[in-house]
Copies of this chain bind each other. A is one copy, B any other.
Amino acid sequence: MADFIPTDPNFRERVAASFDRQAFLATIGARMTVLEPGYCELTMSPRPDLCQQHGHVHAGATTTLADTAAGYAAYSLMPAGSAVLTTEFKVNLLNPARGDVLVARARVIKAGRTLTVVRSDVVGVTGATEKPVATMLATMMCLADSPDPA
């Protein structure tokens, strides 16, 4: 796995400020638990209002976690003054989304000037055991000189 050098030394503040502006992440209770250059981990706790008809977390909530982790893994490497957009992703659902917490771990595979490709894996953590829930492959786009609104 390549190590990445961030171009913006203040990437942590930039990412945190963007995260805090995403109301939907508060709605689903996502929190950022790790951020490194090219890597982001988000955690959420299953709740009844996030579930589908079989009592597991809805694939849409799981996908939101994976997509958001992927976006911030990519955004950590983008320059100051830029914005990040998801252009597309594909997700395979591997096992029912359950556990004490769900954790999405996203890692940049290829950081280009315009497009960044990210892999994002979601696991369900119960006690000391982890079970794969979903795996995502996503493409993120850098919009230069398009800072997030204040």
Q: A residues engaging B (CB < 8 A)?
A: 18-19, 21-28, 48-55, 57-61, 63-65, 67-68, 83, 85-95, 109-110, 114-115, 117, 119, 132, 135, 137, 139, 141, 148-149
Contact = CB atoms under 8 A, between A and B. Distances in A.
Contacts of A53: 18-19, 21-22, 148-149
Given A53-B18, A114-B114, A24 B61 contact: yes
Q: How many copies does the complex hold?
A: 4
22 contacts: A18-B53, A22-B52, A24-B50, A27-B49, A54-B149, A58-B64, A59-B64, A60-B68, A63-B63, A85-B93, A87-B93, A88-B139, A89-B91, A90-B90, A92-B109, A92-B137, A92-B139, A94-B110, A94-B117, A109-B132, A114-B114, A137-B137
Interface of A is mostly: mixed
Given A21-B53, A88-B91, A89-B90, 5 more contacts: A23-B48, A60-B60, A87-B115, A88-B93, A94-B117
